A and B are shown apart, each in its own frame.
Chain A
Amino acid sequence: MNDSEKHNMEEVRLMKGNEAVAHAAIRCGCDGYFGYPITPQSEIMETLMEQEPWNTTGMVVLQAESETSSINMVYGAAGCGKKAMTSSSSPGISLMQEGISYLAGAELPCVIVNVMRGGPGLGTIQPSQADYYQTVKGGGHGDYKMITLAPASVQEMADHTVLAFDLAFKYRVTAMVLADGVIGQMMEKVVLPPFKPRWTENEIRQISPWATLGKPATREPNIINSLRLEASDMEELNLRLQGRYREIENNEVLFEEFSVKDAEYVIVAFGTTARVCQKAVEMARAEGIKAGLLRPITLYPFPTVEISNLANKIKGMLTVEMSAGQMVDDVRLAVNGRIPVEFFGRMGGIVPSPDEVLHALKTKIIHR
């Protein structure tokens, strides 16, 4: 086996979710990572620094002075048509909201990984899913959306990193990988993606003709910008963005179903919580309760149509989250009052147990 064959071989490795993100980024041809340390995701930058990809793929890795700076470094790199990313956890993502809004306004593709921890405030370093609103409803100013992928395993941390870059460039938007502290920290088996070379400058000029690589005499200057002083120009940009978001909603919904076919009751949960709920569904089935699980993989675009269709067939839904109940709003919008939709959740970094979930399903939905 020669070196390049070895390079491209699928490798099964045991590692943390955060480490999987770093390896996947290097392998998928990421050009630049800019970050600032924060628990529980610091292993992403630590792994990158250990791997020294600048010596292999040429990827730039830089520790910035703040999350504000790292998201703006991402903006600069993305403006050059480069595959750029950052990662952080909840408080750091809050600090990035200005930059996220600017990236949306300037129509720049990039990837952000948020390994959520409990809040509000400095909160806790324990896992949480309480940044759902911030992510899918828009934490920054203005009308914008981010494609949001919610991994539920270390394998998906790797896969979603690669997918996030593909989707970001397909639509010129930010794609966020929204994990929780459990997925970031736990170790599992993972098959790392094959190596893809970084884009050459000629490829970038083809893929992203808007990129600021320096202006040849043959074209007008490229200007990366979100400023539109004229109201009509600003509305035009907004209409273009909204058109793109409708396209994303039509084309990119991802979800997974478990035991849904004959189910009378369905639990909706994402990330770590979905794994807990799968166990709860298995326990319910053992007791003869026809329960199922729908796991949204994309939180934006949300599987609204699929949940709406389910509401015509089943008796009730339970949404389970590590928050005070955020995604449940979107489930209720999809169901639109046709069947009961209740919520169960834990906060502050507590992961609900399968017993608790089953109990909630029985008391809040089945025997309500």
Chain B
Amino acid sequence: MTTNDIINPANLVYAKTKVMNDVPMHYCPGCSHGVVHKIIAEIIEEMDMQEKTIGIAPVGCAVFAYKYLDIDWQQAAHGRAPALATAVKRLLPDRLVFTYQGDGDLAAIGTAETIHAANRGENIAIIFINNGIYGMTGGQMAPTTLEGMKSSTSPNGRTVPLNGHPLDITKLLAQLKGTCYVTRQSVHTIAAVRKAKKAIQKAFENSMDNKGTSVVEIVSTCNAGWKMTPEAANDWMVENMFPAYPLGDLKDL
């Protein structure tokens, strides 16, 4: 058997989705972003929505999301993605509109835009990457940084008297009447990736069915910012992030 016998359409069991561009990613090895990008791209292809999707990219590590998915994109000012998405979806109601935001973008500077878009029940999907740190700017404390967790602006660990409590914004969003589906997932194992993909698909379907705002939080690692190996970061996430941000559906109407 030669190599050419093996590279044969009949033997094809997996192919990269055509919605992913063939470009090198800027994400650090071990980072969760790449996996989440891939599953979003797969869902867009499986739902046959490539021509009808508008993604809203944040400021943060995922600012370059528009380089990786072969769809129309708008790049928002820091935290404002849900405001952009609101207008896009209201003016183009038959399009799939999603935001892709990190914890600083969504839960600090963009808290008002996030809460009000969700409270209005905008028919958008919000993909929320929570790794408890500002990755792009070099590892500063985020609203979701855990108590005791070190960052470049909490070098001795976050303390409540100095920094306040970690913000569980997803729990807050689940309380709002405008949200129809609020879930917390991760992508650290194959099983988790499959579940996360199902969750994002449901969020996208909800927005096309005008059911209201769907929020999919992906509890993620930032091994570079956390200063760990990818494997150690996964273990640390399971041990420390999951107790504070437990996985599962918070709301599913």
Contact = CB atoms under 8 A, between A and B. Distances in A.
A214 B53 CA distance: 5
Contacts of A62: 86-87, 90
Contacts of B74: 75-76, 79, 212, 223-225
Contacts of B147: none
Contact of A72 (B53, B63, B77): B77
A195 to B, nearest CB: 19
B50 interface: yes
B72 A212 contact: yes
A76 B116 contact: no
A214 B51 contact: yes
Nearest to A79: B74
Contact of A222 (B72, B86, B90, B95): B72
Contacts of A75: 74, 76-77, 80, 83-84, 87
Given A213-B72, A215-B70, A79 B86 contact: no
A76 B56 contact: yes
B75 A72 contact: no
Q: Residue among B50, B71, B84 with the most chain A CB within 10 A?
A: B84
Contacts, number: 121
Interface string B74-109: 111100100111111011100100000000000000
Interface stretch (A63-71, A143-151, A171-179, A283-291): A63-71
A65 B85 contact: no
A261 to B, nearest CB: 49
A344 interface: no
Contacts of A212: 54, 72-74, 88
Interface residues of A, number: 38
B51 A82 contact: no
A217 B52 CA distance: 11
A214 to B, nearest CB: 5
A193 B31 CA distance: 55
Interface string B17-30: 00000000000000
A221 B87 contact: no
A221 B84 contact: no
A225 B65 CA distance: 12
Given A65-B112, A72-B113, A223-B72, A215 B51 contact: yes
A80 interface: yes
B66 interface: yes
A31 interface: yes
B91 A216 contact: no
A348 interface: no
A214 B112 contact: no
B202 to A, nearest CB: 21
A31 B91 contact: yes
Contacts of A213: 54, 72, 92, 95
B49 to A, nearest CB: 9
A64 B84 CA distance: 11
Interface string B122-157: 000000000000000000000000000000000000
Given A69-B80, A213-B72, 18 more contacts: A32-B87, A62-B90, A66-B112, A68-B112, A69-B116, A72-B80, A75-B87, A76-B76, A76-B84, A79-B88, A102-B77, A212-B74, A213-B54, A214-B52, A214-B54, A221-B72, A222-B72, A224-B75
19 contacts: A32-B87, A62-B90, A65-B113, A66-B112, A69-B116, A72-B77, A75-B76, A77-B88, A80-B87, A99-B77, A212-B72, A213-B72, A214-B71, A214-B72, A215-B51, A221-B72, A221-B73, A223-B66, A227-B63
Interface of B: 50-54, 56, 63, 66, 70-77, 80, 83-88, 90-92, 95, 112-113, 116
